């Protein structure tokens, strides 16, 4: 497989942060989820989404369904899809009962809806989704590499394998989700992933690439010194 160009998607639900990253050109797409929206204090889901979509019309934006019932998920997916041409509908890989959502994903893809399948962690889930896809399907495969790493497993081999088994689906993109540090950007790129999501905090670390380590050390020492002084610590 030829080397891919990694795209960085902003992950969050703060509209001003989203627009700032959009305007500076660092974000190539956007994702959010109900948990991020709840943390941001959003109470009206559709109002928030449509406000963002009115300003960001030329980059992919993923909005997630939130029902636990597949029939209701389908109706929510159709409604979210109707909001704009650049919308990807996020469907969790299963519901809370552990029932896989791949039959629903197949139905929605057949309707021409672009899908972001989210909360994928296991190899069985990666393989099960792949088995129902056709060559023309447009889908983002969001594998939570950061959560895999949280369990003590190295996600690198999983991500490389996923890239390989999806390589014959031209519009399928493997997304490294839940990164924990800036290093994950370079790991995702080395694995051949197409996308990585990043919070605003991680975006701010992009400027650190190849920074002189001696200079970085001195800045760290100065930070400790200044903070101790500002706190008025004495011994």
**Crossing angle, helix 102-110 and helix 123-131, to 10 degrees?**
30
90 is catalytic: yes
> Token digits for 70?
């597949």
> Token digits for 121?
């962690």
Positive/negative CA dihedral, 121, 123, 126, 129: negative
| Nearest partner of 106 among 84, 86, 129, 88, judged by Cα | 129
Report how far residue 189's alpha carbon sits from residue 160's, in angstroms, rounded to the nearest whole number.
10
* Phi-psi label, residue 78: left if phi above 0, alpha if psi -120 to 50, beta otherwise: alpha
Q: How far is CA 191 from CA 2, 75, 213, in A?
A: 11, 35, 26
Overall residue count recorded for the chain in this entry? 235
Catalytic-labelled residue, pool 28, 74, 90, 160: 90
Report how far residue 93's alpha carbon sits from residue 89's, in angstroms, rounded to the nearest whole number.
12
SS3 232: coil
Catalytic residue numbers read 90
């Amino acid at each position: 497989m030829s080397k891919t160009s990694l795209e960085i998607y902003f992950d969050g639900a703060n509209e001003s942060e989203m627009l700032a990253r959009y305007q500076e050109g660092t974000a190539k797409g956007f994702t959010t989820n109900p948990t991020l929206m709840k943390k941001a204090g959003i109470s009206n889901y559709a109002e928030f989404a449509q406000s963002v979509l009115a300003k960001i019309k030329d980059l992919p934006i993923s909005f997630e369904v939130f029902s636990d019932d597949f029939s209701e998920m389908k109706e929510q997916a159709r409604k979210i899809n109707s909001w704009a041409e650049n919308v990807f509908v996020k469907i969790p890989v299963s519901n809370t009962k552990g029932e896989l959502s791949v039959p629903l994903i197949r139905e929605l893809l057949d309707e021409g809806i672009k899908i972001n399948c989210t909360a994928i962690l296991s190899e069985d889930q990666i393989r099960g989704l792949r088995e129902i896809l056709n060559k023309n399907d447009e889908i983002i495969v969001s594998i939570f590499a950061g959560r895999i790493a949280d369990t003590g497993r190295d996600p690198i081999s999983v991500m490389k394998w996923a890239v390989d088994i999806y390589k014959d689906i031209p519009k399928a993109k493997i997304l490294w989700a839940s990164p924990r540090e800036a290093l994950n950007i370079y790991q995702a790129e080395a694995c051949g992933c197409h996308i990585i999501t990043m919070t605003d905090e991680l975006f701010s670390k992009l400027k650190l690439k190849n920074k002189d380590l001696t200079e970085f050390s001195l800045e760290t020492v100065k930070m400790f010194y200044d903070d101790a002084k500002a706190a008025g610590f004495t011994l």
